[in-house]
Chain A
Amino acid sequence: MGISLPTENDRANESAAAFISCSNVVLDFQSRGVSQRVLSDLSLRVLSGQIVSLLGPSGCGKSTLLRVIAGLIDADSGRIEIRGQPISKTMPNATRDEISFVFQEPALLPWRTVWHNVMLPLEIRGLSKLKEKRDTIEHLLQVVGFKSSDWHKLPSQLSGGMKMRASIARAMSTNPKILLLDEPFAALDDMLRSKLNDLLLAISKEQKCTMLFVTHNIAEAIYLSDEIAVMSHGRIAECLKVPIPFPRESKMRSSNEFAAYFGVVSESLSRCHS
């Protein structure tokens, strides 16, 4: 089980090499006998502790790439590695336990309370009885902004934003080293979105978690990321380093630097799709 936190030493060793590496990944989807290329010769490297956004129009393969990295879909060819360990759907290994996924919708089980939803991954792994795990969950729920009086509410009693917070807490419950997020805030309003962006930054800092974040939203991608990977037609068209320093604060969104970089990214996007 690779769910214990690594020591600082491990961290230092890992950070030099790529944490997530995809090389020459090819994937075709078959529908009604017609083969369609979804990922074509895609390569991507993400360093440890980084937040990388995948930006691109619908249907360019962003979500599919995330699912391939999560080991939910197998690529037709190419290699996916997490810290040098190969990932595949057909040969699951301990490395997959270090990955968590946040879906586009909160995907909470409607018959379970917030507490039991967040506990679910640990329950499946047979760890839910451990005292330290329960403490972890309590801490996580506080971090994502749940008052203890809301822990035992059912999802139907929560607002959309709170559902998403519960979903993030659930993803973090196994102490993942990698968090994959598939447009998690697409359905939320701007205020909530920027609040949850700050939450993600705080979590990434506290839990030292590497994140791959799929989004349509340029501002969100800039605000969150170390790097932005612009995707087009199943491959990474451009990788842009975000020049805005950490820690990020909300007021940076209105800075000239931010606005200027927004222009750079949107130009890159339109270049890739012209």
Chain B
Amino acid sequence: MKSWIRRCSPYIAPLGLFLFFGLAWHLVVQWFDIPKIILPSPLSVLNALWVERWILLRASWVTLQAASAGLLCSAVLGSLIAVLFSQSAALRIALYPYVIFLQTVPIVAIAPLLIIWSGYNFRTIVLVAVIISIFPVISNVTSGLLSVNENLRDLFRMQSATRWQMLIKLRIPAAVSQLILGLRISSGLSVIGAIVAEFFVGNSGEYDGLGTIMTARQAQLKTAELMAALMACTALGIVLFALVNLMGATVLRRWTRTTGFESEK
């Protein structure tokens, strides 16, 4: 019994806070008689969540596909770019400002442009997700490839190893943990990218993601349903993050039998 309490204790405080917040929200809405369009009560949000559950689940699935496709492209493309960067300082110096540009570009501002170029479709959503989520991969993997322990580098140099051997046998395996670290950050970003892109793709009838649902509910002034969709977005972000974390931990455990990121000192 005691151990059961101890096991659950980390969840009790956050759960209690959640209930307290929900109750406060409910009471505020009741006492001040706030209109439903401005702030629906938590119960009506839960109700909307239940009523729209199939729509939201389908939309979440669509958005999850777009976000994970974007994340996958970021992982592959970002790693390739990082390998190029690690091999040529000239390339790195020439291109790095543009990579930072990718990070700083207001995605909300270029999404309409991308729609013009790529159309109201899945591809555009993935494209936006890639643009917003590729930077952490490039930057983490590049630093992983370049910051290899000096003794290990000397070990290879003592054997007169070629550049290629150094890359394949040392730099790339050493950068695996950095790639996973980058993907953890990118997973959240790719969901944001997909949803923002869906705002713009809108109700074209060809595509139905969470972002599309949200713009539709906003136009209909269905605030409770909008908030339910918002909850689905959050859940989706958590799901993708957890998925990447789980995969990362599994890979690292098989890689070095360590779960953390302390493999290089």
Contact = CB atoms under 8 A, between A and B. Distances in A.
A124 B165 contact: yes
A99 B158 contact: yes
A251 B160 CA distance: 42
A121 B170 CA distance: 12
**What's the interface size class on B, roughly?**
20 to 34
Given A100-B158, A124-B156, 14 more contacts: A70-B158, A72-B154, A72-B157, A92-B160, A107-B151, A109-B170, A109-B174, A110-B255, A121-B158, A121-B159, A124-B159, A124-B161, A124-B169, A157-B257
A133 B258 CA distance: 30
Given A123-B169, A156-B257, A156-B258, A107 B156 contact: no
Given A72-B154, A111-B256, A156-B257, A96 B160 contact: yes
B245 to A, nearest CB: 20
Given A110-B263, A120-B169, A154-B257, A96 B151 contact: no
Contact of A107 (B155, B161, B263): B155
Contacts of B149: 107
A81 interface: no
Interface of B: 149, 151-152, 154-161, 165, 169-170, 173-174, 176, 255-258, 263-265
A41 interface: no
A81 to B, nearest CB: 18
10 contacts: A67-B154, A70-B154, A101-B158, A103-B154, A107-B155, A110-B258, A110-B263, A121-B159, A155-B256, A156-B256
Contacts of A72: 154, 157-158
A96 B152 CA distance: 17
Contacts of B263: 110-111, 156
A198 interface: no
B31 to A, nearest CB: 59
Contacts of B155: 101, 103, 107, 120-121
Interface in A99-135: 99-101, 103-105, 107, 109-111, 120-121, 123-125
Q: Nearest 4 pairs between A and B by C-beta?
A: A107-B151, A110-B256, A124-B159, A103-B151
A154 B160 contact: no
A101 B158 CA distance: 8
B104 to A, nearest CB: 32
Nearest to B160: A92
A97 B170 contact: no
A126 to B, nearest CB: 10
Contacts of A92: 160
A186 B173 CA distance: 28
Nearest to B170: A109
Contacts of B158: 70-72, 96, 99-101, 121
Which of B156, B158, B176 has the largest number of chain A CB atoms within 10 A? B158
A180 to B, nearest CB: 9
A105 B156 CA distance: 15
A110 B174 CA distance: 9
A123 to B, nearest CB: 7
A120 to B, nearest CB: 7
